[in-house]
Amino acid sequence: MSEPAVPTNGWRPSLKALTARGEVVALQSDGETTTYAQLAGRAEAIANALIDAGVQTGDHVALLSAGRGHDEAAGLLGVILAGGVVVPLHHGAPRAQIANVMRAANCRAIVHDEKSAAHVRDIGAPDPPLRVELDDEGFVLASLGVIADATGPPSPGIACILHTSGSTGMPKAVPMRWEGIDAFTSWMMKITRLEPRDRVLRVAELSFDLAWFDHLAAFRSGSTLLTMSRRQLSTARSIADQVRLLAPTVVYSVPSFFMRLCAGWPKHEALPNELHTICFAGEIFPPSELLALAHRAPNARLFNLFGPTETNVCTFHEVDRSSLDGQRETPIGTPAPYADCRLVDPSDPKILIEGVGTGELLVRGPTALGGECRTRDQVRRAEDGLFYFRGRLDRMVKIRGYRVDPSEVETALCTHPHVRQAAVIANEHPRFGMQLSAFVAADNEAKPESIRAHLSEHLPSYMAPQRLVLRTELPLTENGKVDYDALHPSG
């Protein structure tokens, strides 16, 4: 199958291609089915509502779905068909942060579901000027407002703007280009051998690059996208029930999702036979858990995909089942064909590390932000020629695949009027992975509830520390800096 060559822009979904899939099932969830013809019709109506109200090519349009129904895919396609740049909002983000993100990203409209209507209204007028509200199937319920002012400078070739944790106290905006999404999805379709009969399980939020594979690769290949609600995703058993019901053939998610799936699945029973490809990314898969997953899915090929949001996937490794012993580390492998990956000296990126050695991973290519990205990931090229992840050069950690810079949490804590100093450390819980503990030096009037409430106004829920410890002073090193080694999660 050959795709038309579109060198500058890259592939993107079109109404014609979606409509042509007709009665094939595009979206499926527990009790609900949407065909490609229906999805195309709903997306077209959303696009028309946006265009009629003044959205122009290149305008930034926010997308928010509290219910994670079929409205989310329809909204995504509607914005794309209208020529807009999608700005997915995180459902768990506080109103103040949503307002900040929308203002910083210059969003001129928001497409949202009925469930988030009250939340969106509370974001505060006059941002954004236009709201398009959908029901949970993706039909337009209401379109309120018009865009009267002149459109801003367009962002040519940008598909979406994702937001990830940064160190400044504000989420970091990461624009993704169509060219990069094209390179990534077409390659992923190859390695997952995606065909129209495939069923792709979508787990991640759209504000996360994993979900862009799920949606765009599924719609590009004409396969079925399977969705689960947040409620269904919240317990190991309900995850297992849904996987049994929906019978996915391809799943791309974080290791903790697969670990919960295995925990909820009946012991000594294999996962559905149809499941032929498992891709994981976002955090390290504990070797014993990866071995357990491999036993549960004897027919599936397993891929470790690697790369920060700023580069999308840049290296990959197909797991060799015979090498799994429950102890050995899984390599992050070799560069994806579109990514030029080099190791450089972190203190001087001009110094290249060739052959066996450890350095900072530098990525060039269509998926890399700005064409070239220093990842701050420390990577070793070993004797076997494969890359191995050796940790971060900064303090960033992964919590259930979500990236969190502890200094962003510290910055948020320090803006509380009674907090003088804050230190946030990450520690590993034996069953649930990484967690944050926050230590604050505060005056006598500070109350934990007030600090929690303050955090909830500034950070999304996944960044909220599990523990908050108030002290009069934090331990300091001889240099007068916070002594992180002297802080322990037990308090």
Partner 1 sequence: MANEKASASRDAIYEALHDHIQAEVLLRDEALGADEDLFDAGFDSMSLTRILVFVEERFGTVIPDEDVVLDEIETLKKLTDFVHGYVGQPS
Q: Which residues bind partner 1 (CB under 8 A)?
A: 91-92, 94, 230-238, 260, 263-264, 399-400, 429, 431-432, 435, 448-449, 452-453, 455-456, 461-462, 464, 466, 468
Nearer to partner 1, 228 or 361 (CB): 228
Kind and range of the H or E run holding 72:
helix 71-81
Query: What b/e readout covers 161-177, taking b as 16+ CB neighbours within 10 angstroms?
Result: bbbbbbeebbbbebbbb
Q: Closest distance between partner 1 and the C-beta of residue 235, in Å? A: 5
Q: Closest distance between partner 1 and the C-beta of residue 230, in Å? A: 5
Q: Closest distance between partner 1 and the C-beta of residue 299, in Å? A: 23
Nearer to partner 1, 75 or 465 (CB): 465
Nearer to partner 1, 85 or 455 (CB): 455
Q: Closest distance between partner 1 and the C-beta of residue 414, in Å? A: 18
Note whether 95 and 122 are within 8 A (CB): yes
Q: Closest distance between partner 1 and the C-beta of residue 127, in Å? A: 22
Quick one: tokens of 256? 């903790």
Nearer to partner 1, 190 or 231 (CB): 231
Cis preceding linkage at 465, omega within 30:
no
Q: Closest distance between partner 1 and the C-beta of residue 318, in Å? A: 28
Q: Tokens 């929690």 correspond to what residue?
A: 452
**Quick one: how far is CA 295 from the chain centroid?**
27
Nearer to partner 1, 350 or 431 (CB): 431
Nearer to partner 1, 276 or 400 (CB): 400
As a whole number of angstroms, the distance between CA 208 and CA 212 comes to 8
As a whole number of angstroms, the distance between CA 310 and CA 362 comes to 11
As a whole number of angstroms, the distance between CA 216 and CA 158 comes to 15
Nearer to partner 1, 205 or 360 (CB): 205
Q: Closest distance between partner 1 and the C-beta of residue 341, in Å? A: 31
Q: Closest distance between partner 1 and the C-beta of residue 231, in Å? A: 5
Nearer to partner 1, 221 or 256 (CB): 256
Q: Closest distance between partner 1 and the C-beta of residue 490, in Å? A: 9
Nearer to partner 1, 50 or 455 (CB): 455
